[in-house]
Structure 1
Amino acid sequence: MRWNLVLLAFVALPISAAPGVPVDVAEPLLAHDAEQRWVPFELTPGNQIRFAMDIGSARATAILDTGVSTSVASRLFANRASLKLEPGRGERADAIGGAVPLGWTRVERLSLGALTQARARLAVVDLSAIATGGAEPVDILIGSDLLACCALDIDYAARRFRLLPSGRMPFAGPRAPLARLPRTGVFSTAATIAGRQVRPLIVDTGDGAALTLSRTGWAGLRAKPAATTSAVAFGLGGAIETDLAVLPAVRFGSVGPVAIETRIEPKGGFSDQTGTIGRLGNGLFQRYRVLMDARAGHMILSPTATARDAPVRSTSGLLVGYDSGRLSVLHVMRGSPAAAAGWKAREQICTVDGTPVPPPTGGSVDTGWSAGAPGRVLRFGMCDGTERRLTLKNFY
């Protein structure tokens, strides 16, 4: 069985930087045949939507990221494409893991599906590979500043998306509210958890997790699971440790109820910094075909066959990442069998049950053993030549 690594090591990308829009930036234009302008994409190991697009005369690898207030180019791409940076002003932007240095540049033209934007202004930051959920860093994050012009139709099952005129409704399904936050302009919605409305939640296609709540949001819930554990998240500002639980019945407008894996940020985390209660990401959205139309005030989520599947829970407690033919332990989950057995972060695994670690397939590595049946005993060949055993069990 193959599981995307986001089930084991979460990746999140929100960044908040809300400058005034320059007066010489043109309105984005949509082609008349927008319905036919599908953009193919792949889901990265970190669960982000990665695709190719044109920035000026350069071809760029991009991530669709509604949690980014201003579209972002990497410093490496800016150098490669000879983009001129504006004079530095020592700006920084809030991001998962901490603030990051921020610069600015302009491009004469960018093209994304049916959309063309002339004289686009882009933020410039360092985009590390681990923050973008893959082995290689990407060139650009396409944010809500560009996407808010249109209705964004994401067909996760077919791995494609398109941009349509606002108000277009190519399919039917349950609805949730969708708006733009006043300060940052990112998309937001609301949820109902145990009878309480929770808002605002950032709608973030750059986040590989399903639901993240601030510590305050979590504390305010009337009913919470008794068992929680820990996980690790990686963002532009670095790594952070979060709590982790499964909420059994969450609603979004008329969507749900659904069981949803939930991360709880530390106090003072990204949600607190941005004045929000949390965010929704691709861990939830990929269960649906999704239409996001902030101008029309709604989000439509048409359920797929997996929409009501129970979240996959680790039974090992090992969060791992692929590293040159081996698995590197990124985090040992609190209260897990791995924690009880004394596993530590940065330990290296070379074989599982006698089988060498295979190379990634389609961007993901086979880690289904980490959520195997309770009672199963795994044998790990460590890269230092020792062998370890681990008995799987339910722990959260």
Structure 2
Amino acid sequence: MSILLALAAALAPVATAPAAADFDNGAQTLSPDHETCWIPFEFTPGNQIRFVMALEGNPVSAILDTGVSYSVLAKRYAEAQHLRVRGDAKADVIGGSVPVGWIPTRMLAIGGLRREGGRLVVADLPAAATGSATAVDLLVGRDLTAGYALDIDYAGRRFRFLRSGRTPFAGTSSPLSIAPERLVYVSSVVLSGAELRPMVVDTGDGSAITLSKAGWNTAQMSSRATTTTVSFGLAGPVVSEVAIVPQLVVGKTIAKNVEVRVEPSGGFSDKIGVAGRIGSGFLQNYRVLLDPTAGQMLLSPGPGADKPPLRSTSGLLLGIARDRLKVLHVMRGGPAAAAGWRDGDLICRVDGQAITPAYATSPLARWTAGAPGRIVALTLCDGTQRRLTLANFY
């Protein structure tokens, strides 16, 4: 996974379907061998769980997104398959709201889980929602997952569905439920002695912890050094503050040196009435069991649980556009800001090496969080040469 894009991405569309009370979830069943039906996944550059499942017997790419109330099919896919999209409504997402419709379905299959009948919400799913140039076909949300225990083995890059009440590993427990109005997974956190709730448990959010401005103020953390970052939801980008806090508690789990993003006042968390989100940037440090029916989230530390978070030393947050890097955001107070970099600048070479489709998973991508004092030679796509000296700044 690209260090550069893991720092850049916090991509968590949270949608509420139209006519929620009447929305048809179909009939779901688990196969007799469901416990052995692990679903392999890869991380997107935006730090999300991407896997392959079946829709009407055809393979589709999907993201596991417990922050979505109703699973969302890409409008692009529906049009390519000549599916009739019905309805005309709006859904709340990060960055604003988007138009949505729906389609009926006959069969969905994910590992040992099958659903016959039901509906999918249809909306635009831009590639930016995964932090890469490749869009996905489907967001798998609460309507498909919440009736079961969801066992996510982040270290093994696999997940599976279990019957609720099953506890396949030992760990520390946190409360977990489904919010009655927003219909997403919710828990709580404690920061600087302040309990903040409800917190959406959002596997589709690539960041670690995101808080509303009010939640951050409640925890009295305003003296912490911060910079700025950018998040991308279905309705576009949102600039927020970011800081590293020394300790954060989730249930009985004590996490050290956690990256926290702080939304502006009136931001998405305020709009939907939550304190913030617990994203995959935090969850991926653990093996995770999400079982809202049993009322618990179980966390077992993985090999990276005690490692300090990566910090940008460049002050550039970048996206990949085929053979080039595009500056998505210049972080406040960083080396790039001091050197006059601007959003939209395009980089074609780093230390003389060309950007290729394999860049995101290559060692070359680590330069944005490199050792302070290192000087990186960057070639813009117009041929301009620049040098950037890396430094700690937050």
| TM score, norm. by length of structure 2 | 0.95
- Partner of 1:184 in structure 2? 182
5 Å-filtered alignment, 1:141-220, equals 141-220=139-218
- Displacement of 1:212 in angstroms is 0.5
- Partner of 1:49 in structure 2? 49
- Partner of 1:131 in structure 2? 129
For 1:213, the aligned partner's letter is L
Q: Distance in 1 between matches of 2:130 and 2:40?
A: 18
Q: Distance in 2 between matches of 1:91 and 1:38?
A: 35
- Displacement of 1:31 in angstroms is 1.1
Any unmatched runs of 5+ in structure 1?
none
User: Out of 94, 100, 114, which is 1:102 matched to?
Assistant: 100
- Partner of 1:279 in structure 2? 277
- Displacement of 1:259 in angstroms is 1.8
Is the Cα contact below 8 Å between 1:18 and 1:185 reproduced in 2?
no
Q: Percent identity?
A: 49
- Displacement of 1:164 in angstroms is 0.4
| TM score, norm. by length of structure 1 | 0.95
5 Å-filtered alignment, 1:336-375, equals 336-360=334-358, 366-375=364-373
Return closer, same or farther for 1:4/1:38 CA change in 2, 3 Å cut-off. farther
Is the Cα contact below 8 Å between 2:24 and 2:119 reproduced in 1?
no
Q: Distance in 2 between matches of 1:6 and 1:37?
A: 28
- Displacement of 1:387 in angstroms is 1.3
Q: Does 1:32 align with 2:21?
A: no
Aligned residues: CA RMSD: 1.8
- Partner of 1:296 in structure 2? 294
- Displacement of 1:225 in angstroms is 4.7
Structure 2 SS opposite 1:314 = coil
Return closer, same or farther for 1:215/1:43 CA change in 2, 3 Å cut-off. same
Return closer, same or farther for 1:313/1:362 CA change in 2, 3 Å cut-off. closer
| Residue range with higher mean Cα deviation, 262-271 or 8-17 | 8-17
Q: Distance in 2 between matches of 1:104 and 1:298?
A: 31
For 2:249, the aligned partner's letter is R
Q: Moved runs in structure 1, 4+ residues, more than 4 A?
A: 361-365
- Displacement of 1:23 in angstroms is 7.7
Q: Distance in 2 between matches of 1:163 and 1:213?
A: 29
- Displacement of 1:119 in angstroms is 1.1
Q: Distance in 2 between matches of 1:228 and 1:74?
A: 36
Q: Distance in 2 between matches of 1:35 and 1:180?
A: 23
For 2:370, the aligned partner's letter is G
Q: How many pairs were matched up?
A: 394
Is the Cα contact below 8 Å between 1:322 and 1:365 reproduced in 2?
no
Q: How far does the alpha carbon of each residue in 1:323-381 deviate from its partner, in whole angstroms, 9 at most, with x for none?
A: 22121111100011111111111111122222222432576784211111111222212
- Partner of 2:61 in structure 1? 61
- Displacement of 1:10 in angstroms is 3.2
Return closer, same or farther for 1:40/1:225 CA change in 2, 3 Å cut-off. farther
Return closer, same or farther for 1:143/1:352 CA change in 2, 3 Å cut-off. same
Any unmatched runs of 5+ in structure 2?
none
- Displacement of 1:302 in angstroms is 0.8
5 Å-filtered alignment, 1:299-310, equals 299-310=297-308
Q: Does 1:240 align with 2:238?
A: yes
